[in-house]
Chains A and B, each alone.
Chain A
């Protein structure tokens, strides 16, 4: 969007490096608000909280819905509500500030410019996040925009919404486990050992895949791919080279440490049940 000198119609230049990161909790919150929207409402809008790092990455970490009324040509936001909620949120975490606003629906719609205008008074350059809860294209569409002013000479003509790169920070969701988050009902939170089992099974499956691939390449059934080959050799090389004796020593030491701990904990438990019996038994005096 370089502004050429001859043209009068120009965009106010924008810091181009702007991008946004969204944490899964924000998506969850927006979806929840949408499910709970009032009867007659088509969409929900709300405020996004987070922080802006010096290099222009907007980190969107929290959100809350703001009640609003929308007719064909005007939008009424509950500004009091917005401010109350902001105060409450800042009591908990003063580091989270307004970074923009969200709306459900596909892309930018008519009233968006008005709301964008309101939020630009709260924070310079607000980010507008749209979450398509209607799955208009048959797939998820979560987009972030910033507005760019379109000016004719000195006159402000309109605001143009420009899409900025959006990074969905799914690592946190991964930590919880997609198995829990993507189904509508999970009977039980997996315990430590069950989780371990699942992870090991996945690891074994991966190793199997690699074996199969290598075998196929060796036997000429699959065309070799140098990139994959490098990855595999890197992976194999990342296993530290140790003499078998040193390795056995290491494993055995670790095993024994853990056995000792187990022993200690069983001893403690036995002690506890003994103490319990002694303490609550009738004292004969």
Chain B
């Protein structure tokens, strides 16, 4: 490790880390927020399931670098605007989470939902008070996959000049220096572990009713 490089670039590295966090978190949160109603819809109307899951699957097919470059042409943003990265990642997250939400809701025991219906819960109340809480473990397990993938995908944007931890890779490559690259990789992995554990902890907090043995599942990265 080249400590001189490291110490002289500390504030830049911090800047990149913060940018990386925003570029990862905003799409993850927005993607999840959009996936909840869409996933519920796909679950309620079985005929839509194939359409919604299939269409979102097609978005997943498009390689991320190509997606970053193509978006401006479709939505009229500037080609190097970070907003392209945010939108592309939001779509990826949405594509992954729609299916997870629909499948998670489908896994809620039918008797539980019927009991709520028989007790007089309205459709929206059933969703927010019964189905969603019970589906939390499945949904958050999916979100852990999404967030960890997003952290890695964001780095690709360095190629088109969007500043985040990936910029350390391009910087290191052009300088022929290993230190920035390794620093970038380590920080990416660190963020991944921290966010993964945060969601895991959230999942356990939201589901105190699950048996401890089930809740003590390992992190995605463990």
Q: State whether these chains interact.
A: no
Residues in A lying within 8 Å of B, measured CB to CB: none
Residues in B lying within 8 Å of A, measured CB to CB: none
